[in-house]
Amino acid sequence: MRRLIIRPGAIGDCLLALPAIEFLQTDQTELWVPSALCPLFGATGIPAANGFERVRSIASTGLDRFGLGDGFVPIRLSESLQRFDDIVSWYGENREEFRKAALRLNPHWRFLRALPPGDCPHHASDYFLTQVGGAAPPVSKGVKESGARPNRRQGAIAIHPFSGNNAKNWPLGCYRELARQLAAGAEVVLLAGPEEELPEARRFDDLRSLADWLSGVALYIGNDSGPTHLAAVVRTPVLALFGPTTPSVWAPRGPHVTVLQREPLAALRVDEVVMTARRILRGVCDI
């Protein structure tokens, strides 16, 4: 059976859906995701990492123009969609015109809600896994690494002080003081994305490169953000700082994840984060 999985959304939302995606995966599965995530599964998509037959960016397929009411369906998109026996889509569930047009083209769609409801009592990974009929413990196998993993005892402390929502960010001044104090006993590397303003930060060209580097650091510290979830996926010890979002729903999953929460997040003291980070580092070994 040829299956297509379509997963839109922010980096963290997509990574929390990895257990559900892996549950659905067969040896004839194609995956469509946001452009930024494609390098995690294979830069060209053919052949893809993690065993997918092919990985494509949603933007490259023409799906964003599909079902807009003008009747236009790109020929290549039409031919692609008609090849599948099963299409599991977190894309378009709340767009009636899209759903109608999609089902006319191929009746084998399953439309799923892209995010848990606001009153969801379950972790997001549990929610996504339940949507597709899974019941196994929702901890992803993770992104496969290229090359040997370095000894974490020799790794740096990575700090990413940003997220997609300022309300979820611990103050930058607190992160700078945290970095200053931790630098007394270890190398500390500040990270930033292409559009995040932090002149001294290290930046990576794509998420694949970032994932490979994060897999060898001794500790990652950051807000509720995509890179924080990525660090957890590659089994890096993570200290996640949460403010308004609910950790029981949105925290990264993994045996080496520690969460500190304050509301507002600015109420979290630097000395508490330093103490927690040092406690984690004392337990770090070659994992």
> For residue 70, is pLDDT > 80?
no
The CATH 3.40.50.2000 portion of the chain extends over 152-282
pLDDT in tens, 151-199: 555 679 999 999 999 999 999 999 999 999 999 989 999 999 998 999 9
pLDDT digits (tens, 9 = 90+) for 200-253: 999 999 999 999 999 999 999 999 999 999 999 999 999 999 999 999 999 999
Q: Which has more pLDDT, 207 or 68?
A: 207
Gap between the terminal Cα atoms of the chain: 37
DSSP per-residue codes, 238-259: EEEEESSS-HHHHSPPSTTEEE
> Which residue has better confidence, 198 or 42?
198
Q: Is the pLDDT of residue 94 over 70?
A: yes
Question: Global pTM?
Answer: 0.90
Pick the CATH number of 3-131 from 3.40.50, 1.10.1660, 1.10.10, 1.20.1440: 3.40.50
* Predicted local distance difference test score (pLDDT) of residue 41: 80
- So what's the pLDDT on residue 50? 58
Q: Where are the beta strands (DSSP E) in 66-195?
A: 86-89, 109-111, 157-160, 188-190
pLDDT given for residue 281 in this prediction? 94
Q: Answer yes or no: CATH 3.40.50.2000 is held by domain 152-282.
A: yes
